[in-house]
Structure 1
Amino acid sequence: MTRAGKEPAEDVKRAFRRAIEVAGLETSQVRMFKSSGADARVVLGAASPADWPHEPPAIEMYVLVGFDGSIGEVDIRCAATDGDPMMEVFTAPNLQKCRCDLADLAVTLKEVWVARREVIGRVAAGEKPPIFDGKWNWTPASHLMP
């Protein structure tokens, strides 16, 4: 098994943990696996607030770390719901196309968490998705299906 890209990916795992902590969330998991098809290692992270009652995490992120050590943009996923994200996967507004550089991850996670609360409030007030929060679109998966 090749170790190509392993050390940079371990650095990314540590950066994920730090960013999650700085954003005021708790790490649910951070792991990596090798993707030969992408010539990269995929680093996955998941986090939730301390009082999160559900097994699925509240927010997830991933990035490709090339075997050459290159680090792509971090892709962040989050559903605007206080319910179980798995049970509301098709109905809750989901964050669309949220990407950032690894160096900006902590700030972006904080911004996403604030935007998530705002979107939850707007839905509760009767606004119908998709919702634009000023920076990102939040759309239920059911709206993206053909």
Structure 2
Amino acid sequence: MKRAFRRAIEVAGLETSQVRMFKSSGADARVVLGAANPADWPHEPPAIEMYVLVGFDGSIGEVDIRCSATDGDPMMEVFTAPNLQNCRCDLADLAVTLKEVWVARREVIGRVAAGEKPPIFDGKWNWTPASHLLP
């Protein structure tokens, strides 16, 4: 699984920041976490993250992808930058989906810079700041 994440990140044109696997105490599965950046990413928090649950029976869930549409530090803009919502794919589609997310992220950054207010729908996913999701 870790190799599959690394390979998908590489095929998507990004660099692996980290890939880890650990046992989940509540999900009866292992969790595989991945993080990736473009080559020139200046921030410590990764530009894009993903995770998947791998059952002890060998079943593989959908990969959940997380990303903020900002060139700034994602931690400093956690409540203001549009965040990718409900982006999931099969492991076999991860490389293609990562490429699509990265392109959509650039487009959302451009739309925000042009004055569009989030939430933003890019044709496939919604991008919403965390502040809009709070009660």
Compute the TM-score of the two structures, normalised by the length of structure 1. 0.92
Counterparts of 2:91 and 2:60 in 1: how far apart (Å)? 8
Unaligned 5+ segments in structure 2 are none
The one of 28, 35, 49 aligned to 2:24: 35
Counterparts of 2:54 and 2:84 in 1: how far apart (Å)? 23
Task: Deviation per CA, 1:82-111: give whole Å up to 9, x if none.
Answer: 000000000000000000000000000000
SS in 1 for 2:96: helix
Measure how far apart 1:21 and its partner are.
0.2
Unaligned 5+ segments in structure 1 are 1-11
Task: Deviation per CA, 1:12-53: give whole Å up to 9, x if none.
Answer: 111000000000000000001101210000000000000000
SS in 2 for 1:122: helix
The one of 43, 59, 63 aligned to 2:52: 63
SS in 1 for 2:41: coil
Task: Deviation per CA, 1:53-75: give whole Å up to 9, x if none.
Answer: 00000000000000101000000
1:8 maps to none
Matched, 1:16 2:28: no
Percent identical among aligned pairs is: 96
Aligned length, in residue pairs: 135
1:112 maps to 101
